[in-house]
């Protein structure tokens, strides 16, 4: 009688981007794969990415786009599964990809289609998907060597398990931080987490007056007098503080400082392309040619009306006085505010509003195959780890890279028991 070849059983906890990448990779290598997902469907977070368009990667992939306490680990993983691999992975499932300034999107610009191709591939590979199954324990069976996971009702036994539960960011999509609890059960250390790629709140009470303003600006964050983060892009002023891509990018730095301090100083430069000298000449020229103007009229044309009105008020210049009567010192103060507008960040929006989470499972405790050094046979992937990227497709790239490496390694090796 012909003996049936035994297939390695791999359990994937979490059906997000990294879990699906792990499942597809493991199944393609011949493993019998099951995804255990707490939601009633897999891939909920993918649907909200890139404003529904899913920025799934970036041609300008370098380790410097990522944060985490172990940069060498991140670099190695990205070398082993890079942007070209992501494109090939999606092309192999029939998804056409387009590029805009290095940012990768599905050609159809629909995140739902990205999820569809992943789901169809899982189906074609015979991956079992069990939904509404929230795993709350993971352990090794001392006798069989199998990894046993449980939702408190049922136990599941696998030769290898991939923890791909995500972080605490956007918990409505399913990632409620329970992955950290599972990793702790294995003995892992969690690098403290903070919301990242999130809006920041400011102490100043004038934000209501400038809410809705969008402006190109450079924003810097200071810690103990030293600039620790700097970004340029479209800044948005809101009723409670600041938002927009440059704010998202620096939010993790601000939030880590806020763990030990009640406030963080941010400096915004609305005129980063204008030197002090050019400003002086600009003012002199205008003073000569626009003598009859009021202060408000004089300053019209430089920045958004609402910002200029605020800066005139802060400098103590009444909008209706003739510009010839404005003191030079106050004029310079307006310029100083345009170049160095200081605001005090005293919080951020919560995890509900954050796109990702900074911090997570300490990657010093993983092999380069994403295997737990605390419990071999368990692999960890995605945002659950202490790896977070900037805006631009880098977080999904991390999910595809780490998920693929984990799935590949989980599918190879011995069958237990």
Ligand X SMILES: Cc1cc2nc3c(=O)[nH]c(=O)nc-3n(C[C@H](O)[C@H](O)[C@H](O)COP(=O)(O)OP(=O)(O)OC[C@H]3O[C@@H](n4cnc5c(N)ncnc54)[C@H](O)[C@@H]3O)c2cc1C
Residues that bind ligand X (CB under 6 A): 13-19, 36-39, 44-45, 48-50, 54-55, 134-135, 164-166, 169-170, 173-175, 178-179, 355-356, 382-384, 393-396, 399
Query: Taking CA 102 as the corner, what is the angle to CA 100 and CA 106, rounded to the nearest 5 degrees?
Result: 55
| Token pair belonging to 224 | 């103990």
Is the Cβ–Cβ distance between 279 and 302 less than 8 Å? no
Closest contact distance (angstroms) between CB of 19 and ligand X is: 5
Crossing angle for the helix pair 17-28 and 394-411, nearest 10 degrees? Answer: 30
Beta strands in 278-355 (DSSP E): 341-348
Closest contact distance (angstroms) between CB of 276 and ligand X is: 39
Report the residue number, 16 or 377, with the smaller CB distance to ligand X.
Answer: 16
| Token pair belonging to 17 | 């981007």
Is the Cβ–Cβ distance between 104 and 58 less than 8 Å? yes
Closest contact distance (angstroms) between CB of 151 and ligand X is: 7
Closest contact distance (angstroms) between CB of 182 and ligand X is: 6
Report the residue number, 149 or 268, with the smaller CB distance to ligand X.
Answer: 149
Total Cβ atoms within 10 A of residue 33: 31
- Among positive and negative, which fits the CA dihedral 394, 399, 403, 406? positive
DSSP summary character for residue 42: S
Closest contact distance (angstroms) between CB of 349 and ligand X is: 12
Q: Count of residues for the chain?
A: 417
Closest contact distance (angstroms) between CB of 227 and ligand X is: 27
Report the residue number, 132 or 204, with the smaller CB distance to ligand X.
Answer: 132
User: Which among 50, 79, 47, 44 is positioned nearest to 63, based on CA atoms?
Assistant: 79
Distance, in Å, from the CA atom of 152 to the CA atom of 135, rounded to the nearest integer, reads: 7
Report the residue number, 77 or 218, with the smaller CB distance to ligand X.
Answer: 77
Distance, in Å, from the CA atom of 370 to the CA atom of 378, rounded to the nearest integer, reads: 9
DSSP summary character for residue 303: B
| C-alpha 393: how far from chain center | 9
DSSP structure string for 147-179? EEEE-SS-EEEESEEEE----SSSGGGT--SHH
Is the Cβ–Cβ distance between 61 and 87 less than 8 Å? no
Report the residue number, 17 or 370, with the smaller CB distance to ligand X.
Answer: 17
Report the residue number, 248 or 341, with the smaller CB distance to ligand X.
Answer: 248
Report the residue number, 317 or 387, with the smaller CB distance to ligand X.
Answer: 387
Closest contact distance (angstroms) between CB of 243 and ligand X is: 13
Distance, in Å, from the CA atom of 349 to the CA atom of 353, rounded to the nearest integer, reads: 6
Total Cβ atoms within 10 A of residue 259: 8
Total Cβ atoms within 10 A of residue 248: 21
Report the residue number, 18 or 83, with the smaller CB distance to ligand X.
Answer: 18
Report the residue number, 48 or 148, with the smaller CB distance to ligand X.
Answer: 48
Closest contact distance (angstroms) between CB of 412 and ligand X is: 21
Report the residue number, 108 or 209, with the smaller CB distance to ligand X.
Answer: 108
Closest contact distance (angstroms) between CB of 211 and ligand X is: 22
Closest contact distance (angstroms) between CB of 134 and ligand X is: 4
């Amino acid at each position: 009688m012909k003996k049936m070849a035994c297939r390695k059983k791999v359990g994937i906890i979490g059906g997000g981007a990294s879990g699906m990448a792990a499942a597809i990779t493991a199944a393609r290598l011949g493993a019998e794969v099951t995804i255990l997902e707490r939601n009633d469907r897999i891939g909920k977070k993918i649907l909200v990415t890139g404003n529904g368009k899913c920025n799934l990667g970036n041609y300008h992939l370098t380790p410097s786009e990522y944060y985490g306490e172990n940069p060498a680990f991140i670099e190695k993983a990205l070398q082993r599964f890079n942007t070209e691999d992501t494109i090939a992975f999606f092309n192999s499932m029939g998804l056409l990809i387009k590029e805009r300034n290095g940012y990768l999107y599905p050609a159809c610009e629909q995140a739902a289609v990205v999820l569809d191709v992943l789901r169809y591939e899982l189906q074609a590979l015979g991956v079992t998907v069990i939904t509404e199954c929230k795993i709350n324990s993971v352990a090794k069976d001392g006798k069989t060597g199998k990894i046993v996971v449980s939702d408190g009702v049922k136990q599941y036994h696998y030769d290898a398990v991939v923890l791909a539960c995500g972080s605490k960011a956007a918990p409505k999509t399913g990632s409620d931080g329970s992955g950290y609890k599972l990793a702790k059960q294995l003995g892992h250390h969690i690098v403290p987490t903070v919301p990242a790629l999130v809006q920041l709140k400011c102490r100043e009470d004038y934000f209501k007056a400038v809410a809705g303003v969008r402006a190109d600006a450079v924003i810097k964050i200071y810690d103990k007098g030293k600039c620790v983060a700097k970004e340029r892009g479209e800044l948005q002023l809101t009723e409670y503080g600041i938002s927009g891509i440059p704010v998202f990018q620096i939010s993790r730095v601000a939030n880590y400082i806020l763990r030990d301090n009640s406030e963080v100083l941010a400096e915004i430069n609305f005129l980063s392309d204008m030197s002090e000298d050019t400003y002086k000449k600009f003012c002199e020229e205008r003073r000569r040619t626009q003598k009859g103007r009021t202060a408000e009229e004089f300053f019209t044309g430089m920045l958004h009306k609402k910002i200029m009105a605020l800066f005139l008020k802060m400098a103590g210049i009444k909008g209706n006085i003739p510009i010839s009567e404005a003191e030079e010192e106050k004029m310079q103060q307006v310029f100083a505010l345009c170049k160095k507008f200081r605001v005090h960040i005293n919080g951020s929006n919560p995890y509900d509003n954050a796109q990702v989470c900074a911090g997570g499972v300490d990657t010093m405790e993983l092999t380069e195959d994403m295997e737990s050094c605390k419990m071999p046979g368990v692999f960890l992937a995605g945002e659950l780890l202490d790896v977070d990227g900037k805006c631009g497709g880098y977080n999904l790239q991390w999910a595809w890279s780490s998920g693929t490496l984990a799935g590949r390694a989980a599918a190879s090796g011995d069958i237990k028991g």
